[in-house]
């Protein structure tokens, strides 16, 4: 990608005009995180920007700190602002200024404690969270002693699983997975023996097509549950609510993007992916084992009718 860019810019500097002259030839900086749909979607949109004549650079960044980077213009945009995981960091950056809400995807999201359906045989009171303590022993491992094991997402997703367990009095040990792949490995390893497991999961994702399952139903999310102890059933604790069950998936942009790359900014506003489209992007990597860049090209080839109107609406 880098090399392509250098070739591209060298050509432009010899005097060949870009297709959409209004946009700066500086690269649009797109952040990449640690789950597959975000990486593939970022490549899809990056390839569209390139088709429209822009230069693109990808940087791997922390999924929370990225909002500060977008606010400062070091990174140009963010394509997957999940309400549950990143709502707090997004709102904080918004309040400081420098980045803005660039619109919602069509997708409705949910991120929470989850189990493959076979788990219910050992814990029939699920999906209610109140069943968890009665079943803690079936989730116990050598590592967790008589407590149940819950494998939470990687630390940077700030899922606050340990605070949730504490605030709701759950007899569970919360362990952070080192990567998304560790979550899928945990489910996969439990599958042959139909061993009960509890892991962090989300939708849209490839996993729903591979392992039918359910989210644990925690006390419903109330706005402020992460900052106001009075929200949720425990009056003295934060994080005593589930994540939003019908969460948003937003795009965010640096305020300077619309003047520096007006054509790309216009297209970013048009971009809107659905749940099945996002699950498919993840599948191409997590199930089909494609490289993200290649997965993005494949996805685009199969979905020209989805993306053409976004671009044609923005051609000057």
- Nearest residue (CB) to ligand TMO, 85 versus 174: 85
Size of the site for ligand TMO (CB under 6 A): 6
- Nearest residue (CB) to ligand TMO, 158 versus 300: 158
> Taking Cα atoms as reference points, which of 45, 47, 49 lies closest to residue 25?
49
The three-state secondary structure class of 231 is: coil
- Nearest residue (CB) to ligand TMO, 130 versus 217: 217
- Min CB(157)–ligand TMO separation in Å: 5
- Min CB(111)–ligand TMO separation in Å: 4
- Residue facing ligand TMO at closest CB distance: 85
> Taking Cα atoms as reference points, which of 158, 154, 174 lies closest to residue 166?
174
- Min CB(65)–ligand TMO separation in Å: 14
DSSP state of 214: E
Instruction: For tokens 């040990």, name the residue.
Output: 173
- Cα–Cα distance measured from residue 239 to residue 229, given in angstroms and rounded to the nearest whole number: 8
- Nearest residue (CB) to ligand TMO, 81 versus 225: 81
Residues 123-182 that bind ligand TMO (CB under 6 A): 157
- Nearest residue (CB) to ligand TMO, 64 versus 119: 64
Q: Judged by CB under 6 A, which of 28, 30, 35, 81 binds ligand TMO?
A: 35
Instruction: For tokens 């006390």, name the residue.
Output: 219
Q: For residue 127, say if its preceding peptide bond is cis, omega within 30 degrees of 0.
A: yes
* Cβ proximity of 50 and 234 under 8 Å: no
- Nearest residue (CB) to ligand TMO, 199 versus 237: 199
Q: Judged by CB under 6 A, which of 68, 78, 83, 111 binds ligand TMO?
A: 111
Task: Assess 85 for contact with ligand TMO (CB under 6 A).
Answer: yes
Task: Assess 221 for contact with ligand TMO (CB under 6 A).
Answer: no
Instruction: For tokens 């297209």, name the residue.
Output: 267
Task: Assess 67 for contact with ligand TMO (CB under 6 A).
Answer: no
- Cα–Cα distance measured from residue 189 to residue 194, given in angstroms and rounded to the nearest whole number: 9
Q: Judged by CB under 6 A, which of 49, 67, 82, 115 binds ligand TMO?
A: 82
- Nearest residue (CB) to ligand TMO, 32 versus 267: 32
- Cα–Cα distance measured from residue 86 to residue 63, given in angstroms and rounded to the nearest whole number: 8
- Cα–Cα distance measured from residue 293 to residue 97, given in angstroms and rounded to the nearest whole number: 32
- Name the β-bridge partners of 115: 214
The secondary structure element, H or E, covering residue 245 is none
Positions that interact with ligand TMO (CB under 6 A): 35, 82, 85, 111, 157, 202
């Amino acid at each position: 990608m880098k090399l392509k860019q250098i070739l591209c810019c060298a050509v432009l500097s010899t005097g060949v005009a870009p297709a959409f002259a209004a946009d700066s030839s500086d690269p649009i900086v797109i952040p990449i995180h640690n789950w597959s749909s975000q990486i593939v979607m970022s490549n899809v949109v990056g390839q569209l920007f390139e088709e429209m004549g822009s230069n693109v650079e990808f940087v791997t960044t922390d999924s929370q700190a990225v909002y500060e980077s977008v606010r400062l213009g070091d990174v140009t945009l963010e394509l997957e602002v999940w309400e549950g995981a990143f709502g707090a960091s997004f709102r904080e950056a918004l309040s400081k200024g420098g980045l803005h809400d660039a619109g919602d995807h069509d997708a409705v999201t949910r991120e929470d404690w989850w189990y493959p359906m076979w788990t219910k045989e050992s814990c029939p009171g699920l999906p209610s969270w109140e069943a968890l303590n009665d079943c803690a022993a079936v989730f116990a491992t050598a590592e967790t002693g008589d407590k149940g094991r819950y494998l939470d997402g990687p630390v940077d997703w700030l899922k606050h699983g340990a605070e949730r367990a504490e605030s709701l009095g759950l007899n569970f040990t919360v362990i952070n997975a080192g990567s998304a792949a560790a979550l899928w490995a945990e489910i996969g390893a439990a599958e042959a023996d139909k061993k009960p497991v509890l892991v962090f999961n989300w939708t849209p994702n490839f996993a729903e097509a591979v392992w039918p399952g359910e989210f644990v139903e925690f006390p419903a999310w109330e706005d402020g549950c992460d900052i106001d102890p009075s929200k949720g059933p425990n009056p003295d604790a934060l994080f005593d609510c589930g994540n939003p069950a019908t969460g948003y998936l937003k795009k965010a942009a640096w305020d300077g993007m619309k003047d520096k790359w007006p054509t790309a900014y216009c297209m970013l506003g048009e971009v809107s992916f659905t749940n099945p489209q996002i699950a498919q992007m993840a599948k191409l990597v997590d199930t089909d084992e494609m490289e993200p860049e290649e997965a993005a090209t494949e996805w685009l080839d199969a979905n020209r009718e989805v993306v053409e109107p976004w671009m044609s609406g923005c051609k000057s």
